[in-house]
Structure 1
Amino acid sequence: MQHHGLGYSSCFFSVCFLVVLECLVVSAQVKNLVSDPHWLPATATWYGSPDGDGSDGGACGYGSLVDVKPLRARVGAVSPVLFKNGEGCGACYKVKCLDNSICSRRAVTIIVTDECPGGYCSNGRTHFDLSGAAFGRMAINGENSQLRDRGELPVVYRRTPCKYPGKNIAFHVNEGSTDFWLSLLVEFEDGDGDVGSMHIREVSSSEWLEMNHIWGATWAITGGPLEGPLSVKLTTLSTGKILSARDVIPRNWTPKATYTSRLNFSPQ
């Protein structure tokens, strides 16, 4: 019995030592990569079905867009520090886990489509709650399910330009909009991806009217009746880049319709 006890203690000590050693290696990897000013530390979890696309809609208001390409499987809910009351919607990030025993060297690119306000995302933490598909993509080939079994992971992240090849900026007219209350959602914005301000201009006017940020990625203006066609001007939140889409909303626009411009920001 005494010999068995000694063997158990020795085995227990060895396991503990290996666990501590693995944690130290991962910590060193995080420290080395975070020394690059472009990468910052955070944590990550996943939600939805294991191989699924994440949320059905989300707090940004993109609705069914999150279920189809190019957003499909790139969905990310972020903590309030990155969500920024919805002004962070549409921003793109690269997220990478660093445990070389199970994580690949590649980062997954995600688009902010949702907010995770509680649990892992509270207390001012920088946290990514990814779709099961996006989370699994950080793994070595064949280790996707094992990585998801880890639960919460230490990760590093950085902003990256949004890229929607073959797409121009589009404006979705939200349900309930009228000639006196117009609500718009921006889609497929290359580059910064986020919106800091929006203005519209009526066809008969030279004045840009400021829209108000309502929630998520939704902007609205009250007044009118508004006379179309309407031009829309975007200013990005991150770098203040400006794009003006002339007469993009037609005179006979309708709620729930999407109108595509001929322009986009440079993704660079």
Structure 2
Amino acid sequence: MEGGSSFGQLLSLCLVVVVQCLVVSGGPIHRVADLHWYSATATWYGSPDGDGSDGGACGYGSLVDVKPLRARVGAVSPVLFKAGEGCGACYKVRCLDKSICSRRAVTVIITDECPGGYCSGGRTHFDLSGAAFGRMAVAGNGNQLRNRGEISVSYRRTPCKYPGKNIAFHVNEGSTDYWLSLLVEFEDGDGDVGSMHIKEASSTEWMEMKHIWGANWCIIGGPLRGPFSVKLTTLSTAKTLSARDVIPRNWSPKATYTSRLNFFS
């Protein structure tokens, strides 16, 4: 009986270790979804049925014009923009006026900042694409809702979901062997980035990248020699993911390199 009990305890310990190894590093998996709705205001910009901004303060460039971001983009006040660290976060936003709005919420991805006007003074404000704004209305009332201008809304965080896509790293224009700048694309789950590190193929050292603006990070050193592995940690729940040798030895500026990984959403 004692031998059987010891074996059972050992088996249980091994199962615990296996489960812990399967968890994304950075502690237990926490859900970024928030079940509580918070108060805010919202407006819209661009054309009435348009996709919103072309580019934006996060630096996603032409990605905002194509799926899965298309018509789901939104600018937010500094409270949610967080000096660029809020870029990539996803929110559900719903209109509170039951006379014209449906009960459904729209899911938007933060791609831009609105620093003045309705967004100033510490307010929590969403400036949505015309298409996203109109989708909060009862069918057929999109134009009437847009004519309201500023409206009261409620919002909450929600996990980002990019079906069929893995995290990609865009090498920004101007990058060299001595100044390398990266932009993260299609990050499931938290969507935001709290820190990034890079490792050269010939090294065991993870070198910290600096947040420069929007969703862009850089490292100064050199000469930097690829291929590079990239490790990123989310801002919201500190999940960590490492993409080994994701940027090849012969990398080039303005190229995008897709990993084989993504966070659990």
Q: Compute the displacement of 1:51 (Å).
A: 0.3
State the Cα deviation string for residues 138-168 of structure 1 (Å, max 9, x = none).
0000000000001000000000000000000
Per the normalisation by structure 1, the TM-score is 0.86
CA distance in 1 between counterparts of 2:44 and 2:118 reads: 11
Runs (4 or more) in structure 1 with deviation over 4 Å come to none
Structure 2 residue 69 is the aligned partner of structure 1 residue 67? no
CA distance in 2 between counterparts of 1:182 and 1:70 reads: 27
Q: Compute the displacement of 1:91 (Å).
A: 0.1
Q: Compute the displacement of 1:228 (Å).
A: 0.6
- The code of the aligned residue for 1:144 comes to G
Q: Compute the displacement of 1:37 (Å).
A: 6.2
Structure 2 residue 103 is the aligned partner of structure 1 residue 105? yes
Structure 2 residue 196 is the aligned partner of structure 1 residue 198? yes
CA distance in 2 between counterparts of 1:167 and 1:250 reads: 19
Contact 2:196 2:231 in 1 (8 A): yes
Q: 1:48-197 to 2 correspondence within 5 Å?
A: 48-197=46-195
CA distance in 2 between counterparts of 1:215 and 1:223 reads: 19
State the Cα deviation string for residues 73-121 of structure 1 (Å, max 9, x = none).
0010000000000000000000000111100000000000000000000
Q: Percent identity among equivalent residues?
A: 85
- Partner secondary structure for residue 104 of structure 1: coil
CA distance in 2 between counterparts of 1:220 and 1:175 reads: 12
CA distance in 2 between counterparts of 1:224 and 1:88 reads: 30
Question: How many residues matched?
Answer: 232
Gaps of 5+ in 1: 1-35
Per the normalisation by structure 2, the TM-score is 0.87
Q: Compute the displacement of 1:38 (Å).
A: 1.1
Q: Compute the displacement of 1:227 (Å).
A: 1.1
Q: In the alignment, which residue of structure 1 is the partner of 2:237?
A: 239
Higher helix share: 1
CA RMSD of aligned residues (A): 0.8
CA distance in 2 between counterparts of 1:61 and 1:262 reads: 23
Q: In the alignment, which residue of structure 2 is the partner of 1:216?
A: 214
Larger RCO of the pair (alpha carbons < 8 Å, separation 6+): 2
Q: In the alignment, which residue of structure 1 is the partner of 2:21?
A: none
Contact 2:35 2:156 in 1 (8 A): no
Q: 1:20-39 to 2 correspondence within 5 Å?
A: 38-39=36-37
- Partner secondary structure for residue 81 of structure 1: helix
- The code of the aligned residue for 1:182 comes to L
Q: In the alignment, which residue of structure 2 is the partner of 1:45?
A: 43
- Partner secondary structure for residue 191 of structure 1: coil
User: Larger C-alpha radius of gyration, 1 or 2?
Assistant: 1
State the Cα deviation string for residues 123-152 of structure 1 (Å, max 9, x = none).
000000000000000000000000000100
CA distance in 2 between counterparts of 1:136 and 1:180 reads: 46
- The code of the aligned residue for 1:141 comes to A
CA distance in 2 between counterparts of 1:186 and 1:148 reads: 32
CA distance in 2 between counterparts of 1:252 and 1:135 reads: 43
Gaps of 5+ in 2: 1-33
CA distance in 1 between counterparts of 2:122 and 2:158 reads: 22
CA distance in 1 between counterparts of 2:260 and 2:35 reads: 36
CA distance in 2 between counterparts of 1:92 and 1:250 reads: 30
Q: Compute the displacement of 1:43 (Å).
A: 0.1
State the Cα deviation string for residues 19-40 of structure 1 (Å, max 9, x = none).
xxxxxxxxxxxxxxxxx96100
